[in-house]
């Protein structure tokens, strides 16, 4: 009897928990849902949420997307942003894994001290050195046209102290026997790195890719400093220009916000899975 009553209470509690969850989730998502809806609304209807305007087909439009695409030159901007992130990820994977492998396996006198120096750079926020870094990039000729600016957007961020540290941990965890066996077979160090060690740490490499994509897709300060010309603007800078330069059209801005989000949204599942892995490996242990 009492057992059945407890079941009853539990079911009520569960229903309550669920309804509360749905309400909180909707409130939490409201800003993003509003953005999506607003991007398809005509200018005067963006702030209107009454039923009459919501069912009125004249209040809906897809023209914001075309306008945003044209006004913020989103075609070239997307190309610059995707190119920027792809170059950082690809270049970063290569140089950081090479260094990480050397620190893990190719010990020499002084390598520990060198590694300690690299580790110290982990906490350095990019905002702190952005201004002096800008002068270095300028002195190297990494501003200006599309090619130099793309180099300027990417080269400074390929080598990353944290990624070297993180990948080194994973190389250290590999059983050593595999590699030494390979040496007896006459394989060289490069082949050991490329054919044996690198494929063995694929999940760690995926984590690094995810972190870099997430960080650099949202880059703002650095592209603001270095990619000021029209043809070298990233999507984020294009959005900021739509937002600050008259005539301000809310519909275009919201459409641009949606377009700027789609590329990372496509990778969402992946991002969520691997970001947790990093946090677990680095912060808490």
Partner 1 sequence: MTAWEKQASRRAIWFLLPALGMLAVFVAWPLIRAAWWSVTDADLLATDDAHWIGAENYSDLLRDPRFRHAFLNTALFAILIVPLQTLLAMVLALWVNRPEPAWRWLRTVFFLPVVVSLPVLAVVWTLLYQPEQAGETGLINRLTSVFGFADRAWLRDPSLALPALAAMSIWQGVGLQMMVFLAGLQGVSREQLEAAQLDGASAWQRLVHVVIPSLRNTIVFVVTVTTILAFRLFVQPYLMTRGGPDDRTLSLVQYMYETTFLNLELGRTCAAALLFLTWVGFLTWLQRTLFNEEKS
Q: CB-wise, 1 or 125, nearer to partner 1? A: 125
Least distance from C-beta 103 to partner 1, angstroms? 8
Which of 84, 53, 43, 54 has the alpha carbon at shortest distance from 249?
Answer: 43
The verdict on 199 binding partner 1 (CB under 8 A) reads no
| Contact by Cβ (8 Å): 106, 189 | yes
* Long-range contacts of the stretch 101-107 (C-beta < 8 A, 24+): 101/167, 101/168, 101/171, 101/193, 101/197, 101/198, 103/164, 103/168, 104/168, 104/171, 104/172, 105/171, 105/179, 105/192, 105/197, 106/189
Total residues in contact with partner 1, by rule CB under 8 A: 84
* Spatial distance between the Cα atoms of 243 and 46, rounded to a whole number of angstroms: 15
Cβ 231 to partner 1 shortest distance, Å: 20
Interface residue with partner 1 among 193, 197, 207, 227 (CB under 8 A) is: 193
Give the tokens for residue 252.
């275009």
Nearer to partner 1, 1 or 246 (CB): 246
CA–CA distance, 253 with 216 (Å, rounded to integer): 21
- Looking at the DSSP assignment, which residues form a beta bridge with residue 60? 41
Taking CB under 8 A as the rule, does residue 155 contact partner 1? yes
- The verdict on 172 binding partner 1 (CB under 8 A) reads no
Could you say which residues in the range 205-234 bind partner 1, by CB under 8 A? 214, 217-218, 220-221
φ/ψ bin of 144: left (φ > 0), alpha (ψ from -120 to 50), beta (otherwise): left
Rank residues 1 and 153 by Cβ distance to partner 1 and give the closer one: 153
Nearest in space to 172 (alpha carbons), one of 204, 195, 194? 204
Least distance from C-beta 234 to partner 1, angstroms?
Answer: 9
Quote the least distance from Cβ 150 to partner 1, whole Å: 15
Site for partner 1 in 8-47 (CB under 8 A): 21, 25, 28-32, 34-35, 38, 46-47
Closest CB 26 distance from partner 1, rounded Å: 9
Stretch 242-261 residues interacting with partner 1 (CB under 8 A): 243-244, 250, 253-254, 257, 260-261
| Token pair for 23 | 């309400």
Smallest gap from Cβ 101 to partner 1, in A, equals 6
Closest CA to 275 of 199, 202, 198, 214: 214
- CB 146 to partner 1: min, Å: 20
Question: According to the binding rule CB under 8 A, does residue 190 interact with partner 1?
Answer: yes
- By CB under 8 A, the residues from 78 to 137 that bind partner 1 are 94-96, 98-99, 101-103, 105-108, 111, 114, 118, 121, 123-125, 127-133, 135-137
Q: Which of residues 60-89 bind partner 1 (CB under 8 A)?
A: none
The secondary structure of residue 41, as a DSSP letter, is B
**CB 165, CB 128: distance < 8 Å:** no
């Amino acid at each position: 009897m009492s057992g059945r009553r407890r079941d009853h209470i539990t079911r009520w509690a569960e229903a309550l928990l669920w309804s509360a969850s749905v309400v909180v989730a909707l409130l939490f998502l409201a800003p993003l849902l509003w953005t999506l809806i607003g991007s398809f609304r005509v200018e005067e209807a963006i702030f209107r949420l009454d039923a009459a305007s919501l069912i009125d087909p004249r209040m809906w439009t897809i023209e914001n997307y075309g306008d945003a695409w044209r006004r913020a030159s989103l075609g070239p901007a997307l190309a610059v942003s995707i190119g920027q992130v792809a170059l950082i990820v690809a270049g970063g994977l290569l140089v950081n894994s090479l260094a990480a492998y050397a620190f893990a396996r190719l010990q020499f006198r002084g390598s520990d001290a060198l590694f300690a120096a690299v580790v110290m750079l982990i906490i350095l926020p990019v905002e702190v050195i952005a201004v002096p870094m800008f002068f270095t990039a300028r002195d190297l000729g990494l501003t200006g046209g599309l090619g130099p600016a793309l180099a300027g957007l990417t080269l400074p961020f390929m080598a990353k102290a944290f990624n070297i540290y993180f990948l080194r941990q994973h190389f250290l965890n590999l059983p050593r026997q595999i590699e030494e066996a390979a040496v007896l077979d006459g394989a060289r160090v490069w082949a050991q790195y490329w054919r044996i060690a690198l494929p063995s740490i694929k999940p760690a490499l995926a984590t690094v890719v995810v972190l870099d994509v997430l960080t650099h897709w949202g880059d703002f300060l650095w592209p603001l400093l270095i990619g000021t010309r029209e043809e070298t603007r990233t999507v984020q800078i294009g959005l900021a220009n739509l937002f600050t330069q008259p005539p301000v059209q809310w519909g275009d801005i919201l459409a641009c916000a949606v377009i700027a989000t789609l590329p990372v949204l496509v990778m969402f599942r992946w991002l969520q899975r691997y970001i947790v892995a990093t946090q677990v490996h680095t912060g808490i242990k």
